[in-house]
């Protein structure tokens, strides 16, 4: 039987992503009612994701002051209530304003959830897995319910059903989410997250890839011109994402992150090109391949950020900002491109973005070799029997003692009778950045 924490975690993911992307399959109906083109209609999605991107860091700061559980519960409840107001919007500007507020409310979940689980869960990997499963399932369920419901209730009624589902999940979260421990001081190190050129390359990968991904799915309903219920079935392609991301993570550990990221980008581009023929089967297969490739790239890039960063919390926040910024700005740009040049023109633009992402991956790999992260240099120093860079002076004058818990090693220089405690990466550090907490033995993944 699932624990209270697991139940609340899954419910949070279901509610959050069902609300965030529910309007996507009904964009043609929204456009028809308000007299919009695909580009303007896509703002129904971009307004929320853009607001989320801007609110991620402030929500993380707020959580350290008022408590993570409080931010998670109020975020999901407020987002669900706003979802119930969306169908009542009398005009498109009011609809967009509500979506902006919903995006701000939703930002509390990605900003806080992983750090909360890292502190509260006994089995951290299982808890993070439950969150990701809820996120993926929520995104798919929200789209399917909205699309199929539109055939029966119209787009307003369908969005109301999604909001009702999300409110039920939010109430489960409020009832089952355990009271968390007092929050510790927020991790510093934003400067390092914004000055490392390798991390900037990975942020660029996030922006470009999610822009490509959201662009195609924003306008697929316009391209197919089928009843919303049938069109929403294309979102079953999301099922390929979870499997491919897990496989990509394991392959990256074996063959290197850059190699697998480049291969996944090639698969993503191939999937996009497969959708060009005006044939329903080709479009469906292409979208499945495209989705699997995208999630694989995302898994490798986010893991790379966690492995590279010295301040993992700020770097993870910067990656999330880039991710949702790409979803917002890129999604609208792609929808406008479709309006001007059609599906083939959009696919060519998407392939161009993916090619730029490949360049960013290659640059990240090159700079990783030329300029290893501080943690990588420390590992190399210890392997070679040298003191770490920051302790070499002390190491020449005194002997070192090895300290730390099983699975992590640090060198603490001895000064007189006092010993400076070693600084080692904790499970919380690794998990807050979305990386594995499993300790490697004798092998470090190449970039």
In a domain? residue 120: yes
pLDDT at residue 428 is higher than 50: no
Among 144, 169, 186, residue at a domain's last position: 186
Per-residue pLDDT band at 444 (split at 50, 70, 90): very low
pLDDT at residue 440 is higher than 70: no
367, 378: one domain: no
Per-residue pLDDT band at 189 (split at 50, 70, 90): low
Query: For the segment 148-160, what is each residue's pLDDT rounded down to a tens digit?
Result: 999 999 999 999 9
pLDDT at residue 418 is higher than 70: no
50, 152: one domain: yes
Termini Cα distance of the chain: 40
In a domain? residue 439: no
Strand order in the sheet with 410-415: 400-403, 410-415, 418-419
Report helix angle 280-308 to 239-255, nearest 10: 40
- Give the residue, 395 or 247, on which the prediction is more confident: 247
199, 312: one domain: yes
For residue 266, how many other CB atoms are within 10 A of its CB?
14
18, 140: one domain: yes
- Residue tagged 């080709």 (tokens): 282
The residues facing 414 across adjacent strands are 419
pLDDT of residue 187: 53
Question: CA 320, CA 401: separation in Å to the nearest integer?
Answer: 38
Question: CA 222, CA 216: separation in Å to the nearest integer?
Answer: 10
Across 48-52, 94-98, 246-250, 416-420, least confident range: 416-420
pLDDT of residue 191: 79
251, 347: one domain: yes
| Segments forming the whole domain that contains residue 124 | 1-186
298, 398: one domain: no
Residues in the chain: 447
- Give the residue, 425 or 11, on which the prediction is more confident: 11
In a domain? residue 27: yes
Per-residue pLDDT band at 421 (split at 50, 70, 90): very low
Question: CA 285, CA 153: separation in Å to the nearest integer?
Answer: 29
48, 18: one domain: yes
Number of structural domains, the chain? 3
Among 163, 186, 209, residue at a domain's last position: 186
In a domain? residue 24: yes
CB 74 within 8 A of CB 108: yes
Read off the tokens for 132.
């990701």
Q: What is the mean pLDDT of residues 60-79?
A: 88
In a domain? residue 29: yes
pLDDT at residue 118 is higher than 80: no
252, 160: one domain: no
Distances from the Cα of 101 to the Cαs of 51, 216, 273, 383, in angstroms?
Answer: 8, 25, 36, 51
274, 378: one domain: no
Question: CA 31, CA 99: separation in Å to the nearest integer?
Answer: 16
> Pick from 440, 414, 435, 437: which is nearest to 427 by CA?
437
Question: CA 54, CA 58: separation in Å to the nearest integer?
Answer: 8
pLDDT at residue 60 is higher than 90: no
CA quadruple 412, 395, 312, 215: dihedral positive or negative?
negative
pLDDT at residue 185 is higher than 70: no
Q: What mean pLDDT, rounded, does the chain reach?
A: 80
In a domain? residue 14: yes
The residues facing 410 across adjacent strands are 403
pLDDT of residue 156: 97
Query: For the segment 5-55, what is each residue's pLDDT rounded down to a tens digit?
Result: 888 888 998 999 999 999 999 999 999 999 999 999 999 999 999 999 999
Query: For the segment 34-44, what is each residue's pLDDT rounded down to a tens digit?
Result: 999 999 999 99
The residues facing 401 across adjacent strands are 412
pLDDT of residue 410: 40
pLDDT at residue 406 is higher than 80: no
38, 127: one domain: yes
CB 287 within 8 A of CB 275: yes
**CA 302 to chain CA centroid, nearest Å:** 8
Across 15-19, 231-235, 327-331, least confident range: 231-235
pTM: predicted TM-score of the whole model, two decimal places:
0.74
pLDDT at residue 108 is higher than 90: no
Question: CA 195, CA 6: separation in Å to the nearest integer?
Answer: 37
pLDDT at residue 229 is higher than 70: yes
pLDDT of residue 262: 97
Query: For the segment 205-223, what is each residue's pLDDT rounded down to a tens digit?
Result: 999 999 999 999 999 999 9
Read off the tokens for 145.
């319910």
Per-residue pLDDT band at 284 (split at 50, 70, 90): very high
- Give the residue, 427 or 353, on which the prediction is more confident: 353
pLDDT at residue 416 is higher than 80: no
In a domain? residue 434: no
250, 198: one domain: yes
CATH number at residue 37: 1.20.1250.20
Among 121, 156, 186, residue at a domain's last position: 186
In a domain? residue 405: yes
Q: What is the mean pLDDT of residues 391-417?
A: 41
pLDDT at residue 356 is higher than 80: yes
pLDDT of residue 80: 97
> Pick from 353, 322, 358, 321: which is nearest to 337 by CA?
353
70, 168: one domain: yes
Question: CA 24, CA 140: separation in Å to the nearest integer?
Answer: 11
């Amino acid at each position: 039987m699932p624990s209270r924490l697991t139940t609340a975690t899954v419910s949070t993911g279901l509610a959050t992503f069902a609300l965030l992307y529910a309007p996507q399959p009904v964009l043609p109906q929204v456009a028809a009612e308000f007299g919009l083109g695909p580009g303007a209609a896509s703002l129904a999605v971009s307004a929320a994701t853009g607001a989320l991107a801007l609110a991620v860091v402030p929500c993380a700061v707020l959580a350290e002051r008022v408590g993570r559980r409080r931010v998670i519960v109020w975020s999901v409840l407020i987002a669900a209530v706003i979802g119930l107001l969306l169908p009542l919007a009398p005009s498109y500007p009011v609809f967009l304003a509500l979506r902006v507020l919903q995006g701000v409310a939703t930002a509390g979940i990605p900003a806080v959830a992983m750090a909360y689980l890292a502190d509260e869960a006994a089995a951290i990997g299982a808890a993070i897995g439950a969150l990701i499963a809820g996120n993926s399932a929520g995104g798919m369920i929200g789209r399917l319910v909205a699309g199929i419901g539109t055939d029966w209730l119209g787009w307003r009624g369908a969005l109301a059903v999604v909001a009702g589902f999300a409110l039920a999940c939010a109430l489960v979260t409020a009832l089952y989410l355990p009271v968390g421990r007092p929050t510790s001081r927020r991790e510093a190190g934003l400067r390092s997250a914004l000055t490392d050129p390798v991390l900037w390359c990975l942020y660029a990968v996030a922006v470009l890839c999610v822009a490509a991904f959201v662009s195609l799915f924003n306008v697929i309903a316009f391209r197919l011109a089928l009843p919303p219920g049938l069109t929403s079935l294309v979102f079953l392609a999301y099922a390929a994402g979870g499997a491919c991301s897990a496989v990509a993570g394991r392959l990256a550990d074996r063959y290197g992150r850059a190699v697998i990221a480049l291969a996944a980008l090639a698969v993503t581009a191939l999937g996009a090109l497969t959708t060009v023929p005006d044939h329903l089967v080709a479009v469906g297969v292409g979208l499945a391949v495209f989705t699997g490739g995208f999630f694989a790239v995302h898994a490798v890039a986010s893991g790379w950020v966690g492995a590279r960063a010295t301040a993992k919390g700020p770097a993870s926040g910067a990656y999330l900002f880039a991710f949702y910024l790409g979803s917002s700005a890129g999604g609208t740009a792609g929808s406008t491109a479709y309006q001007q040049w059609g599906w083939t023109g959009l696919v060519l633009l998407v392939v161009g973005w993916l090619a730029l992402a490949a360049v960013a991956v290659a640059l990240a790999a090159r700079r990783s070799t030329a300029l290893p992260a501080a943690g990588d240099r420390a590992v190399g120093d210890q392997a070679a029997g040298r003191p770490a860079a920051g302790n070499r002076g002390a190491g020449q004058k005194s002997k070192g003692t090895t300290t730390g818990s099983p699975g992590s090693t640090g060198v603490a220089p001895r000064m007189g009778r006092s010993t400076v405690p070693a600084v080692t990466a904790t499970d919380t550090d690794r998990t807050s950045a979305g990386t594995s907490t499993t300790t490697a033995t004798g092998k470090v993944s190449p970039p």
